[in-house]
Structure 1
Amino acid sequence: MHYQRLLPICLAAVGILMLTGCGSKNKQNTVTAVGSTAMQPLVQKAGSDYQAEHPKVSITVQGGGSGTGLSQVETGAVNIGDSDIFAEQKDGIHAKKLIDHQVAVVGIAPITNPKNGVNNLSEKQLENIFLGKIKNWKEVGGKDLPIIVINRAQGSGTRSTFEKSVLKGKDAVKSQEQDSNGTVQKIVENTPGTISYLSLPYLNNQVKVLSVDHIQPNYQNITTNRWKIWSYEHMYTNKQPSPTTKKFIAYIMSKPTQQKLVKAAGYVSIHDMKVQMDAAGKVTHKPK
């Protein structure tokens, strides 16, 4: 009788252990990456390709901005925090608790609506537009149209990079703010007078990409820092990332992925950079 009573209890206990084991295994095969919308196309494509090669792995990619990615990976809510900025540059983030994996470089370009009639701006003109000092396109050789500045929201790594390079610590003019590269692209495409900036993977033929001092935001110019508005694409993890997380990041950083997927998605391969940048923004030649 005692054995008969114990048997269901034992079987139930074994079932609980098996379910716990399965849940643990599934969790180990799951990677969640959250943060930078500038990185989103790259991480989504890499995740899709990686899952095709590793069917038991599940990779979830979400935007939300660099600040969101950094805060969530620090608290352990996600496996990877995607960011356009160094963790040291974000207030409230304890960078020493995180590991920085620099997986690519992204260029950022000023864009306007094609009807504005401008192809190039000097560095000073670009600065003064975003400071609100230049208010009409005719002041820089364009049409008689009021300038409408579209900025990214606070917490955006793209905004932080652009303002650090262009405004050099000065406060941008108060303007409409948007949460993502994709939304900015649509607004500028459809609204005469607008100016903003985009990560290069989001550029299309419906917006006008501006050169600055007649320097184009292209691949070669980014690798040498001739085009100065760029940032690393960081994948931050905690100090002890899961094996699946480490393997996924290693996949993105591998030379085959860098030379094919990274370039095809509009980013610069980390292996092609001739310069390097530190968290303070200092750029030096990369050791060979």
Structure 2
Amino acid sequence: MKLKRLVPVGIACVGLLMLTACGGKNKENSVTAVGSTAMQPLIQKAGSDYQAKHPETNITVQGGGSGTGLSQAETGAVNIGDSDIFAEQKEGIHADKMVDHQVAVVGITPVVNDENGVSNLTSKQLFEIFTGKIKNWKEVGGKDLPIIVINRAQGSGTRATFEKFVLQGKEAVKSQEQDSNGTVKKIVQNTPGTISYLSLPYLNKQIKSVSVDGIKATPANIETNKWKIWSYEHMYTSKNPSAKTKAFVNYLLSEKTQEELVKTAGYVSVHDMKVKTDAKGIVTPK
């Protein structure tokens, strides 16, 4: 059975949502995951592979952002809420109502259009670009092009992670905001002068990752926290998830899946991390 994409949340009892929202007879065989677009490529691939091995299970996947995933999981509208941030970090979410399954780690990197002429920025330069102090690429050794900042929408876990390490509590410059990694990728790829940030699985040869203070966003650097802009990929479930939901989460956490799917999809295996972090952002040896 092919992996199905979830129709927009809020359209009651239509199509695939009949499996979860309307109490259809196949509800017990369905797993619905909604949330982080940084996680979406991984969960879609995992869902497709899992269904091929377990055709009796229907996996539906949709983005929408970490905030959406957390709120939908908390209310029980979906089986799994995908998030790049801890539930405790999201205002209005009751983390104690859910269980956190950390299934992968994702690195987040600044990305620029290739025409900008920049491949490395200092932490200070990155801070000043995203707070609006630096306005032209020639100020950081690039071409004479106005800087166009593309930000993620409020509620994005990718944005929360990036701003935590780059902006140090300061407010970002007012700029265009986009809902997904995929949209950001297309804009930066096709628009000279642009800068934004993406999770590593979205990178390709057409979009340029920027080093920070001479350090590259590589799995080895993420594993040791040498590259500090990273987050867990969380799958939040109820405290009593369905048997199918538990089986799918366990499938993602297995050593085999971590090696053959998680790492090859551009994420870092949770088993390879040499450090760990908590909801307060405190990093300690694992």
When normalised by structure 1's length, the TM-score is 0.91
Q: Does 1:205 align with 2:205?
A: yes
Aligned to 2:149: 149
Q: Give the Cα–Cα distance (whole angstroms) in 2 for the partners of residues 24 and 252 of structure 1.
A: 26
Q: Give the Cα–Cα distance (whole angstroms) in 1 for the partners of residues 33 and 186 of structure 2.
A: 25
**Runs of 4+ with >3 A deviation:** none
- What letter is aligned with 1:49? D
- What letter is aligned with 1:26? N
Aligned to 1:96: 96
Aligned to 1:225: 225
Unaligned runs of 5+ in 1: 1-22
3-state DSSP of counterpart to 2:281: coil
Q: Give the Cα–Cα distance (whole angstroms) in 1 for the partners of residues 181 and 35 of structure 2.
A: 13
Q: Give the Cα–Cα distance (whole angstroms) in 1 for the partners of residues 215 and 176 of structure 2.
A: 28
**CA drift at 1:130:** 0.2
- What letter is aligned with 1:95? A
Can you list the C-alpha shifts for 1:9-39, whole angstroms capped at 9, x where unaligned?
A: xxxxxxxxxxxxxx66521110000000000
Q: Give the Cα–Cα distance (whole angstroms) in 1 for the partners of residues 24 and 119 of structure 2.
A: 55
3-state DSSP of counterpart to 1:196: strand
Aligned to 1:30: 30
Greater Rg, structure 1 or structure 2?
Answer: 1
- What letter is aligned with 1:245? T
Q: Give the Cα–Cα distance (whole angstroms) in 1 for the partners of residues 165 and 82 of structure 2.
A: 21
Matches within 5 A, 1:199-278: 199-278=199-278
Q: Give the Cα–Cα distance (whole angstroms) in 2 for the partners of residues 252 and 278 of structure 1.
A: 21
Can you list the C-alpha shifts for 1:69-128, whole angstroms capped at 9, x where unaligned?
A: 000010110000000000000000000001000000000000000000001000110011
**CA drift at 1:168:** 1.3
More helix by share: 1
Aligned to 1:189: 189
Q: Give the Cα–Cα distance (whole angstroms) in 2 for the partners of residues 40 and 267 of structure 1.
A: 12
- What letter is aligned with 1:101? H
Q: Give the Cα–Cα distance (whole angstroms) in 2 for the partners of residues 109 and 238 of structure 1.
A: 31
Q: Give the Cα–Cα distance (whole angstroms) in 2 for the partners of residues 214 and 90 of structure 1.
A: 32
Aligned to 2:17: none
Can you list the C-alpha shifts for 1:133-164, whole angstroms capped at 9, x where unaligned?
A: 00000000000000000000000000000000
Aligned to 1:165: 165
**Equivalenced residues, count:** 264
Which segment is superposed worse, 83-92 or 203-212? Answer: 203-212
Aligned to 1:85: 85
3-state DSSP of counterpart to 2:26: helix
When normalised by structure 2's length, the TM-score is 0.91
- What letter is aligned with 2:74? E
**CA drift at 1:208:** 1.2
Aligned to 2:51: 51
3-state DSSP of counterpart to 1:186: helix
- What letter is aligned with 2:210? L
Aligned to 1:67: 67
Could you say what the CA RMSD is over the residues aligned between the two structures, in angstroms?
A: 0.8
Q: Give the Cα–Cα distance (whole angstroms) in 2 for the partners of residues 84 and 140 of structure 1.
A: 30
**CA drift at 1:207:** 1.3
3-state DSSP of counterpart to 1:215: coil
- What letter is aligned with 1:237? T
Q: Give the Cα–Cα distance (whole angstroms) in 1 for the partners of residues 184 and 24 of structure 2.
A: 40
Q: Give the Cα–Cα distance (whole angstroms) in 1 for the partners of residues 31 and 38 of structure 2.
A: 19
